[in-house]
Structure 1
């Protein structure tokens, strides 16, 4: 029967894989963006945040003697790459990516809220500040996406109506 610390350690491994998946989704997107420089800039910023989040998770895994799961990292990274490729065929790629990114950010938010609770419940109080930093970055990205989905959609519509290939 797993105890709270075991569940916490598994959660850290899952979060590590999740963040690697996020990178495999975001990196191809940012390379393709042409008409939405503010989106590209924010995604670049979040890629940097995500890389720091992985470093924090590495620190936390070292503290609990938990190796990261290379299998989960690879599997979720591949899944993220496939998801990113799937949207490239859509004429409204930028809009669909915004929807998917918003959903993924909220998934990450839920994961970090759960990890904070598990850290507190398993006597890992010193981990809370690192997990909270990750959570705060995910909340900020989700908020940014939330504020920009409608204007981005209308910009896409305007560019498309004007005969511009506005997909990315």
Structure 2
């Protein structure tokens, strides 16, 4: 049972590392394109740095367990992050699509970190718990920030669109 739980925990850590790889690519692509929404650019820039730090925390935890992240998982999720960002690019309302997707993605990451904390507790990895909680708090803060600007972003987009200005991103 202990090996099975430990293996599940390590898989969860590797999955979370890959999830952060996806977030980094997604945020990087969005940041490259954003022009008319400086508040969003600042949020993305801040969370990109947090995601990079979260990935490093996960690497440290994995190293302590004598393993490392999965290059294949990281590659595949990075690719999907790039594709997700590209999927919204041709859309007139790209800023809205990105906002909705980012809000959903943050909640997915919140669930992943809550799951990892439960596994770390059950596996007795008390050293990892503060690091995982730090990442969870960052994800919760970002989700809250995105949630707080959904209406404002929607109206700003609609006003820019109605005025004939570049509105999408």
TM range (shorter): over 0.9
SS of residue in 2 equivalent to 1:125: coil
Superposed CA RMSD? 0.9
Partner of 1:32: 33
State the shift of 1:66 in Å: 2.0
1 CA distance for matches of 2:47 and 2:95?
16
Work out the number of aligned pairs and report it: 168
1 CA distance for matches of 2:66 and 2:143?
31
Partner of 1:162: 163
2 CA distance for matches of 1:105 and 1:147?
13
Deviations 1:23-70 (A, max 9, x none): 110101011111110000010000000010011000000011122100
SS of residue in 2 equivalent to 1:3: helix
2 CA distance for matches of 1:126 and 1:58?
13
Question: Which ranges in structure 1 are unaligned for 5 or more consecutive residues?
Answer: none
Question: Which ranges in structure 2 are unaligned for 5 or more consecutive residues?
Answer: none
User: After superposition, where does 1:125-144 map in structure 2 within 5 Å?
Assistant: 125-144=126-145
User: After superposition, where does 1:55-70 map in structure 2 within 5 Å?
Assistant: 55-70=56-71
- Deviation beyond 6 Å, 4+ runs, structure 1: none
SS of residue in 2 equivalent to 1:118: helix
Q: Does 1:122 align with 2:123?
A: yes
User: After superposition, where does 1:8-87 map in structure 2 within 5 Å?
Assistant: 8-87=9-88
TM-score (norm 1): 0.98
1 CA distance for matches of 2:86 and 2:135?
26
State the shift of 1:84 in Å: 0.4
TM-score (norm 2): 0.97
Deviations 1:68-124 (A, max 9, x none): 100000000001100100000100000000000001000000000000000000010
